[in-house]
Structure 1
Amino acid sequence: MVQLLQYAKRQANALRGNQTETTHDVRPGTHLQLWFLVLVVVFPIVVAVIVSTKETGVVTSLGDLLPGSYAVENYREALVDYQFGRFMWNSLAMSLVIVVGKLIVSVFAAMAIVYYRVPYKDLVFLFILFTLLLPVPVRFIPLFQLMNDLGWSNTILAITVPYIASATTVFILRQHFLSIPTSIVETAKIDGVGPLRFMLFVLLPMSKGVLVGVSIIMFVYAWNQYLWPLIIIDSEANQVAQVGLQLLQGDVQGGQLSWSLVMAGSTLTLLPPLLLMIVFRKPLLETFSIQQK
């Protein structure tokens, strides 16, 4: 077993070495195009942050795009007075449960499809991919009825369990497992390593980068859920951040929408996935670059 782990570690280092990117000369025009695209993407975010520091958030001229002095008051009001902190906590709990559940189910599914003789496993894999063709709203009516029958309405189970299975995650992990040298699998069989030990001590250590990458993708997807929590959650205290933004927009002060408050909530909602994508950008890029061996 020790020799197998050492061999797997050497193979993982070799795979990482083969994935080293080569640098190429880039023309100045390409740099300008990239910076322009970055500005196009970042500009709305910058405007939202600036508006969140204003008293009312109404922008009528370029002069209004200067930072204001109401940032602390606006963010405190959103977090405390409108309980947006609770909405974010609910979103965090929902996202973490979905990520952990998807990882467990997807790892076992991809491992069975790649390494074991499952009857009609190719057909099963095609059926898993076929589920990607079904729009999510199509499932809302039967899911709503099922959640009511189970008594899960207005609970965290209703907004997490329906998202546990993920065809996308199974596909990504399958592609990664196919890139692992078959010699490692054969060595494990010769050494008598069981399925669970092979997964825990060989497969998962060699897949750390990909697992982190798919976790970030799943977290962002779960964090941005809006329509299903809006339908299945009745209590405002149990709502998530995306629906909380709608509640902020529904609060009209003196007949005028407080855009500064809405932008403060939007900025708070953006921070968790943005920080995760910045911190774990390398494994995220590795996940997007997976290719079959």
Structure 2
Amino acid sequence: MVEHRRWNDILAYAILILGVFIVVFPVYVALIASTHDAATVVNGNMPMLPGSHTLENYYRAIFVGGSRASREPVGHMLMNSFVMAMGIALGKIVISILSAYAVVYFRFPFRQTAFWIIFVTLMLPVEVRIYPTYKVIADLKMLDTYAGLILPLIASATGTLLFRQFFMTIPDELLEASRIDGAGPFRFFKDTLLPLSVTTMAALFVIQFIYGWNQYLWPLLITTQESMQTIVTGIKKMLTTTDELAEWQLAMATAILAMLPPVAVVVFMQRLFVRGLVETEK
């Protein structure tokens, strides 16, 4: 029995190691490519060891930018993506927690209908309503602005559902105790619900930050100025389709830099993220 379990553990670890290798190897290739010059990358014989152009490539990517399709420095694109991702994540949390609070703790006509209307919007992502959303943003003169990048994406039926399910697990005795202490709706929300919702907010923040960071279609559609493009659209513009040689070393350096903020968010908020998703009592 012990021997059988040992072989199961070995098989499980082997599958895990294989999966990690499959995921990590392309990242390693991108990292190595970012340390060589363009000719070495495209000649088909790129070595699997770091080259001597690391500082040059990363300095040029962050502060100078490409010389062909995209001249915008990566540092500015990273800032645009960070502002967009933070705005979407924080906006979704604020709207979701307020809407869930209203649906769970207030009694008004068609309360459940309102919740189901919010829930049905899961079937209408921004790609489906892309034209009317663009028309509204254009009419409001929000093209090439942070508001135009953020506002259409901050509504979240998923976040509302997540907070609603959590609020429904909170004992009614807490609400009654708050009423006895003379707390109104705002004070109950601020002093009781918000502290209890920290892990749920952290989990939603991680998910929505990565969602906002990886946005491609919407920023590509509403940003016409290079100064407003995000890191994801910037990588695509670096890979030219003309007869000129694409600056693959800069594209790979940009891809590596684009991975760092989402990875940092997941690493630093890992414990809260896991607790927010798996624990029933926060």
Note the C-alpha offset of 1:286.
2.3
2:27 pairs, out of 45, 63, 69, with 45
2:126 pairs, out of 136, 149, 167, with 136
1:31 corresponds to which residue? 13
1:273 corresponds to which residue? 262
Note the C-alpha offset of 1:118.
2.9
1:69 corresponds to which residue? 52
Distance 2:122 2:29 in 1: 35
Distance 2:174 2:125 in 1: 39
Distance 1:129 1:173 in 2: 13
Distance 2:123 2:246 in 1: 38
Q: How does 1:115-264 map to 2 (within 5 A)?
A: 115-250=105-240, 255-264=244-253
2:70 corresponds to which residue? none
Contact 1:59 1:65 in 2 (8 A): no
Contact 2:143 2:223 in 1 (8 A): yes
Contact 1:52 1:260 in 2 (8 A): yes
2:274 corresponds to which residue? 285
Note the C-alpha offset of 1:135.
3.6
- Pick which of 261-270 and 174-183 moved more: 174-183
- Pick which of 64-73 and 174-183 moved more: 174-183
What do the CA deviations read for 1:95-124 (whole angstroms, capped 9, x no partner)? 222222222111110111112213222221
1:7 corresponds to which residue? none
Contact 1:178 1:292 in 2 (8 A): no
Secondary structure of 1:201's match?
A: helix
Note the C-alpha offset of 1:236.
0.7
Distance 1:292 1:137 in 2: 36
Letter of the structure 1 residue corresponding to residue 138 of structure 2: N
1:21 corresponds to which residue? none
Distance 2:21 2:277 in 1: 23
Distance 2:176 2:16 in 1: 46
Distance 1:111 1:182 in 2: 14
TM-score (normalised: structure 1): 0.85
Letter of the structure 1 residue corresponding to residue 178 of structure 2: A
Structure 2 unaligned spans of 5+? 66-72
- Pick which of 111-120 and 224-233 moved more: 111-120
Contact 2:238 2:246 in 1 (8 A): no
Contact 1:175 1:291 in 2 (8 A): no
Rate the CA distance shift 1:244–1:120 in 2: closer, same or farther, 3 A: same
Q: How does 1:73-92 map to 2 (within 5 A)?
A: 73-82=56-65, 83-92=73-82
Letter of the structure 1 residue corresponding to residue 239 of structure 2: Q
1:13 corresponds to which residue? none
**2:94 is aligned with 1:112:** no
Distance 2:181 2:163 in 1: 25
Secondary structure of 2:47's match?
A: helix
1:10 corresponds to which residue? none
1:60 pairs, out of 30, 33, 44, with 44
Distance 1:59 1:220 in 2: 34
Note the C-alpha offset of 1:181.
2.3
Letter of the structure 2 residue corresponding to residue 196 of structure 1: F
Distance 1:37 1:291 in 2: 30
- RMSD after superposition: 2.2
Note the C-alpha offset of 1:182.
2.4
Contact 1:144 1:232 in 2 (8 A): yes
